[in-house]
Structure 1
Amino acid sequence: MLTFAAAVLFLIITPGPGVMTTAGFGAAYGFRPSLRYVLGLFIGTNLVMLSVMTGLAAIILSVPWLRMVLMVGSVGYLLYLAARIAFAGAKISFMEAKTAPGVLGGVMLQAINPKAYAVNSSLILGFNYAPNSFLFEMVTKALIMNAIWIPIHLAWLWAGVSLNRLNLPTRTQRAINILMALSMLGVVALALWSTSRSV
């Protein structure tokens, strides 16, 4: 179980769409508006985990056209979120975003987030420590993953909020928002590259 917990820590703490958007929205909008988004990520993560545990994710991802639809949806949504972060507080009327996405936005991201499926699949299927008790293993894995997931995402949110609280000049805050958005685009590029190699 300790090996599993260590793997969870290292796989979840690495930057992916969830933690990047959490920090980005924390920096752009502050703690309370972004906390609703993190709650959505939490719900979405657990739905993805459940789909992996039940085998539903394997069935869905085995259909090539459906996997491609999910990838295109994921890339499109990540681009949208990157734009929300980059233009937070901007005076460009067609793009200004005054509030962070809520619970539904977080759930949607995890539902189409390739990293969420990859991480959950490798953790749930790759570490068998109770082969004679499937239910015990799945319940303890869910508890361990959530016990690590929650503080990590709250720490990323706090890091983003800390940037927000520095009362940086508008120009510096805009540069940080754009940097966060570019990091998101880097995640998108990595996801596309990874998908093209596996096809």
Structure 2
Amino acid sequence: MSLAMILPMSAFALAASISPGPVNLVCLSSGTRYPLSQGLVFVTGATLGFVVLFVAVGLGLYSILAVVPGLKEALRWAGVAFLLYLSWRLFRDDGRLPEGGAQRAPGFMAGALLQWLNPKAWLAAASGIGAYTSGDLHQVILFAALYLPICWLSLGSWVYAGAFLRRYVYRPAVLLTVNRTLAVLLAGSCLFLLIE
């Protein structure tokens, strides 16, 4: 595959990965609340979850959604339920930074599961596969290999942005406001999932 294909694939992966969405908001929230290492565990799970989804879509999984009645709707509602659960947890948070690992950030499996329940991830995978591959396994694998570091670095940048904000939100009242704002935004993203 030529450099002429690798550059557009990389640009697509960057635009799809770094643009705001439910996973990015959870990364930002993790950065403000927890040690970087915990936020990056979530990032790793979300990245690997997406790459596996991407390859599966490239191998034809997306076509199953058209064939199996109700599967697309079931995924949509499961995604909404999971996002609302994460929003509820964030909204209920008291604004005190956890000490000594008293609370844990969303982990590896939450990141992977969130990608599989995230219509934005399905859309990014399907449109990327459709635009840049002809269904050839080698092209799909190359695209996935490009996506892996780009997605991880993009999501990681949201965690680091949260860690940067953490310096300014160390007071419980400020962090409570940030948490509730992020919780409302995360819950609001469900509206977009329902109207797609």
Q: TM-score range by the shorter chain?
A: 0.7 to 0.9
**2:177 aligned to which of 175, 178, 188:** 175
Look up the SS of the partner of 1:117 in the other structure: helix
Quote the Cα distance in structure 2 between the aligned partners of 1:20 and 1:78: 10
Quote the Cα distance in structure 1 between the aligned partners of 2:32 and 2:95: 14
**1:85 aligned to which of 73, 85, 90:** 90
Quote the Cα distance in structure 1 between the aligned partners of 2:179 and 2:17: 22
Map residues 91-106 of structure 1 onto 2, 5 A cutoff.
98-106=103-111
Compute the displacement of 1:59 (Å). Answer: 0.8
Quote the Cα distance in structure 2 between the aligned partners of 1:26 and 1:83: 18
What TM-score does the superposition give when structure 1 sets the normalisation length?
Answer: 0.85
**1:119 aligned to which of 108, 121, 124:** 124
Indicate conservation of the 8 Å contact 1:28/1:88, yes or no: no
Q: How high is the sequence identity, in percent, across the aligned residues?
A: 28
What TM-score does the superposition give when structure 2 sets the normalisation length?
Answer: 0.86
Corresponding residue number in structure 2 for 1:64: 69
Corresponding residue number in structure 1 for 2:194: 192
Q: Which segments of 5 or more consecutive residues in structure 1 lack a partner in the other structure? A: 92-96, 195-199
**2:24 aligned to which of 19, 27, 37:** 19
Which shows bigger deviation, 62-71 or 102-111?
62-71
Look up the SS of the partner of 1:48 in the other structure: helix
**1:140 aligned to which of 139, 142, 147:** 142
Look up the SS of the partner of 1:40 in the other structure: helix
Compute the displacement of 1:61 (Å). Answer: 4.8
Compute the displacement of 1:186 (Å). Answer: 2.1
Quote the Cα distance in structure 2 between the aligned partners of 1:61 and 1:178: 37
Corresponding residue number in structure 1 for 2:78: 73
Corresponding residue number in structure 1 for 2:51: 46
Aligned residues: 186
Quote the Cα distance in structure 1 between the aligned partners of 2:66 and 2:76: 10
- Over residues 89-145 of structure 1, what are the superposed CA-to-partner deviations in whole Å (9 max), with x where a residue is unaligned? 459xxxxx92212111111111111111100110111124xx5x9233122211211
